[in-house]
Amino acid sequence: MQHFSLLDLCPVPEGGTAADALANTLDLARQAEAFGYHRFWLAEHHNMPGIASSATAVVIGHVAAGTRRIRVGAGGIMLPNHAPLVVAEQFGTLATLFPGRIDLGLGRAPGTDMATARALRRGLDEGEGFPRDVTELIGYLDADHPEARVRAIPGAGTQVPVWILGSSLYGAQLAALLGLPYAFASHFAPQALAEALHVYRSNFQPSQWLARPYAMIGVGLCAAATEEEARFLRSSQVLAFARLRMGRPGRLPAPVEDLSEVPAGMRAEVEAALSCSAVGSPATVARRLEALVAEYRPDEIMVTGMIHDPAARVESFRIGAEILAGIVGRAQAA
């Protein structure tokens, strides 16, 4: 494994505001930079009261301006919601302002419900044009061609690294065909992880951007001094995920001792969706992360975790960084 990184969903906590969420995200990014994380990514979601990163490119600029070295990017931009030229201009501008620090991960889901998708002017079949849109977008960011009738300015010549994101075999196949790095959303949809990595690695075509496959996996993280504290803190994410699936999205709940409001069947469904996670004391988290690395052999792990208390969230990622730095160090020494 070469790197470890962090995905933040810019959670809006119960009792807090979007302004609080954005301030907490910037503080976390600064801490992540000090802890040694390689990237800090944000994701596009819409019409979700508990997530403040809907204007993802704007938040990326906010974070990049408040940090110095860490790579900042999108994990990801839901490309069918946007014209490729607009995304190229946004990320070309970010890359011009923060050279060598911007990543662009692309997904094909709407990142929201269907009513909001329609409000975004997204047709229900627009995901079918995803490969075409990815290729068009990469063309705008590639070497500048002054004779081209349409150019991204800024954008042309910035060659912002483009990633394909996915939670199924579709993204794995596309990333392999185009010779792009691939990130699998195993932190909330782990079922096809092993098969997707196999498809990506076995079908990879070298490209001008990448000579060999590079795969990143998402891992949930909730680390604390004790097992009991970690399970308590994680109850916020379990509640939030269950309420979303039951059609009651809201702000990130405060942690609770009793999760009885979640029906047993839904609790099992949520635990399965969040099973690619490391939860517990430092020793437990270390064992789990080491096992995931051994099983899936990722080039990079991206951890994420929805914790209501900002200080506890920072501490969880601090513990994770110490463990992951050791795993990377041992891998590089081998």
Give the per-residue pLDDT at 117. Answer: 67
Does the pLDDT at position 122 exceed 60?
no
Break the chain into its structural domains and give their ranges: 3-218+298-333
- End-to-end alpha-carbon separation of the chain, Å? 11
108 vs 166: CA distance, rounded Å: 8
Q: How confident is the model at residue 79 (pLDDT cuts 50, 70, 90)?
A: very high
- Contact 4/301 with Cβ under 8 angstroms? yes
Rounded mean pLDDT, 253-280: 94
Does the pLDDT at position 315 exceed 80?
yes
Give the per-residue pLDDT at 116. Answer: 67
105 vs 261: CA distance, rounded Å: 35
* Range 3-218+298-333 has CATH code 3.20.20.30: yes
Q: How confident is the model at residue 145 (pLDDT cuts 50, 70, 90)?
A: confident
- Contact 320/278 with Cβ under 8 angstroms? yes
165 vs 105: CA distance, rounded Å: 6
Does the pLDDT at position 124 exceed 60?
no
Token couple for 251: 């702000």
Rounded mean pLDDT, 221-245: 96
Token couple for 117: 């998708």
* More confident call, 316 vs 109: 316
Give the per-residue pLDDT at 146. Answer: 83
Does the pLDDT at position 278 exceed 70?
yes
pLDDT digit string, tens, across residues 22-31? 999 999 999 9
DSSP 8-state assignment for residue 143: S
Does the pLDDT at position 110 exceed 70?
no
What are the backbone angles phi and psi of residue 232, rounded to the nearest 5°? -65, -50
Percent of the chain with pLDDT over 70: 95
Token couple for 69: 């070295």
Rounded mean pLDDT, 190-206: 97
Rounded mean pLDDT, 87-114: 90
Average pLDDT, the chain: 94
- What is the full DSSP assignment across 165-192? EESSHHHHHHHHHHT--EEE-TTT--TT
- Contact 4/37 with Cβ under 8 angstroms? yes
Residue type at position 212: R
pTM score > 0.75 for this model? yes
